[in-house]
Structure 1
């Protein structure tokens, strides 16, 4: 598989959210707005890229018995970097994402890519894989957050499109996440089949 296909794989063919249905906890939990979706997606992308790179570099030195715990420690290190940086420089985003930032450690996208790709490939290809999967995840969260924010409050990235009085509250709440995600997956599957 060439380098472009590794990168594009996460964006389109194996999008973590719309195709593989991975990472549903943050997908449904933080996408009440486009800004939250983008922030969570970019935080996860950073963790994916950095952890994939480090795992690809040290994979030959990690004994099989402690492979998964070692991967979790590497991932947790980068999640801590993201969490502290976000708390220092983006406190409002940090407050809105809350508990979902530390939960990146156990996100199945991150651990799955570490196990399935980074532990079997070189650092460059692992970085491309992490970047593709992360940007695909970011794109999905931002799209879902935009749809929910637009239908729920008449805004996208907090810019008013129509009066908030006409918004449907259900899309800002948890059930709206399921509805919007279901419709987006159906639309994407229809487009893929065409």
Structure 2
């Protein structure tokens, strides 16, 4: 059982990552990752919707007929996004103003409906919750990592305005590189596509090297025996 949940986490974080493997949710990935703080906030909001929607879909999977399950899932996801949108407006208003319309657009994030249809409707509540958490954390990690790279290259800062957008307790994250003016291209859309492309290439190279090492180890095992 632990291996099953471990595989779910590995799939969500790396092998089946929403951004780096499935190439989904590229609109918010390109739009909100001008800073690490924006990417972190958007990722956590999406993670909350992913986890709760997976749980609810799993709970009602035997109740809703196959003919109407997609509309039901869409209404369910839209309701959760509305709750998250209102909660962020109430408690994280500065971040809410920065992310703006992209919070509401979580409704059309293909990853959320995709996990509901591909996994939650076929599995139990606990497994669906773990799957949603893994996919959400993988998405959050991707957005935050891209945002940090773009922010660092574009303005020479890391998690700038974290205390204003997320709260004073996050002030320790804020860093600035003295004497570096930044490259404006990195916080513009072309910079986002360039960073994503380099990261995708790097992931492919890492996966190929890991596959080569595994193949070499498999070939060497019989000889050693």
TM-score normalised by the chain length of structure 1: 0.97
Corresponding position of 1:172: 187
Question: Could you list the runs of 5+ residues in structure 1 that have no partner in the other structure?
Answer: none
Counterpart selection for 2:82 from 74, 80, 87:
80
Alignment of 1:42-191 (within 5 A): 42-158=44-160, 159-165=175-181, 167-191=182-206
How far off its partner does 1:162 sit? 3.6
CA distance in 1, matches of 2:121, 2:128: 9
Q: Which has the higher contact order (CA 8 A, sep 6+)?
A: 1
CA displacement at 1:20 relative to structure 2? 1.1
| 4+ runs deviating over 3 angstroms | none
Q: Aligned-pair RMSD on alpha carbons?
A: 1.0
Over residues 45-85 of structure 1, what are the superposed CA-to-partner deviations in whole Å (9 max), with x where a residue is unaligned? 00000000000000111111211110011111111111011
Matches within 5 A, 1:23-42: 23-42=25-44
The question of whether the paired residues in 2 share the 8 Å contact of 1:152 and 1:172 is answered with: yes
TM-score by length of 2: 0.84
State the alpha-carbon separation in 1 of the partners of residues 125 and 27 from structure 2: 28
- Work out which of the two has the higher radius of gyration on C-alpha atoms and give 1 or 2: 2
Distance 1:162 1:180, change over 3 A: farther
Q: Is the 8 A contact 1:155 1:162 kept in 2?
A: no
Q: What is the aligned length?
A: 193
- Deviation of 1:26 (Å): 0.6
